[in-house]
C-alpha cells in the first residue's frame, strides 16, 4: 500500500468514502487535524441531514393519513345523519298508521 500525503483533498476523499460507505471502505485515515475535523463535520452533518429528511417524510405521510381518516369520518357522519332522517320518517309513518287505525 502506498503512502498518502495527508493533503486536504486526500482527507476530503477519505471523509467522503467513509460517509458514503459507513466506514467499511477505510483505505487511509486522515493524518492531519484538518482532515479529522472535516471528517467529524461530515459525519455529524450527514446524520442531521438524514434525520431531518426522515422526520419530514414521516410528517408528510402521517399528515396525509390523518386527512384520509378525517375524510372517512366525515363520510360516516353523513351516512349516520341520513340514517337518522330515514328513521325519523319511518317513525312518523308508524305514528300516522296508528292514528289511522285508531280512527277506523
The per-residue pLDDT string of the chain (104 residues; one tens digit each, 9 = 90 and over) reads 345 566 787 677 777 777 667 776 555 566 677 777 777 787 778 889 999 999 998 888 776 656 667 778 888 999 999 999 999 999 999 998 888 887 76
Report the C-alpha gap between 54 and 57 in whole angstroms. 5
**pTM (two decimals):** 0.41
Q: Name, in order, each residue with C-beta under 8 angstroms of 17's C-beta and a sequence gap of 6 or more.
A: 25, 26, 27
Question: Domain 8-103 falls in which CATH fold?
Answer: Helix Hairpins (1.10.287)
Q: Name, in order, each residue with C-beta under 8 angstroms of 40's C-beta and a sequence gap of 6 or more.
A: none
Amino acid at each position: 500500500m502506498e503512502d498518502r500525503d495527508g493533503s486536504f483533498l486526500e482527507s476530503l476523499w477519505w471523509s467522503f468514502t467513509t460517509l458514503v460507505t459507513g466506514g467499511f471502505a477505510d483505505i487511509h485515515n486522515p493524518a492531519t487535524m484538518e482532515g479529522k475535523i472535516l471528517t467529524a463535520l461530515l459525519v455529524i452533518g450527514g446524520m442531521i441531514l438524514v434525520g431531518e429528511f426522515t422526520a419530514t417524510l414521516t410528517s408528510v405521510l402521517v399528515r396525509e393519513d390523518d386527512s384520509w381518516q378525517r375524510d372517512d369520518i366525515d363520510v360516516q357522519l353523513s351516512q349516520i345523519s341520513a340514517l337518522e332522517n330515514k328513521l325519523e320518517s319511518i317513525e312518523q309513518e308508524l305514528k300516522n298508521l296508528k292514528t289511522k287505525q285508531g280512527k277506523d
